[in-house]
Amino acid sequence: MTLDYALHMTETVPVLIVCDESMVPIYAKPGDAGADLRASHDAVVPAGDRVLVKTGCSLALPGGYVGLVHPRSGLALNHGITVLNSPGTIDAGYRGEIMVTLFNSSKEDFHISLGDRIAQLLIQQVAKADFVRVGKLPQSDRGESGYGSSGRK
């Protein structure tokens, strides 16, 4: 018996979108967390450099939600292409066009064509913090241990 509950989740979030019909973000497969964002123009990401790629989409997210722009794993593995400020953040109040800063870590230029899938958009609920200024933080098991403190194995 296969238990794939992600295929049957029904919670949805209404997201208003302005874009050409061919540029609407879509989920490639049932259960996918990220919807594909596409390039709205041809572009070249030079080797070792970055380029801002437009998607032709503007969103209106409900309050309490954020859009997170993540790299596509296939582009990263096969071509060294990643989202430079990963994940990019789309705040609920932002109404401008979604643009993706792509970075090419390879030694070859990477060509993008109109309609190519360039990144993934995840919509997530967020909590607002109530920052409380104190003189001292409570103790924890980790304490101030940071980078590399847990070892490699």
> Rounded to whole angstroms, what are the CA distances from 142 to 99, 138, 146, 149?
38, 11, 8, 9
pTM for this entry: 0.86
Helix (H, G, I), strand (E, B) or coil at 78: helix
Instruction: Give the SS3 label for residue 10.
Output: coil
Domains of the chain, first to last: 33-125 (2.70.40.10)
Reading the chain (153 residues) residue by residue, the pLDDT tens digits are 566 655 665 678 889 999 999 999 999 998 899 999 999 999 999 999 999 999 999 999 999 999 999 999 999 999 999 999 999 999 999 999 999 999 999 999 999 999 999 999 999 999 999 999 999 999 998 888 877 777 778
Q: Which residues of 19-47 are buried (b: 16+ CB within 10 A; e: fewer)?
A: beeebebeeeeeeeebbbbbbbeebebee
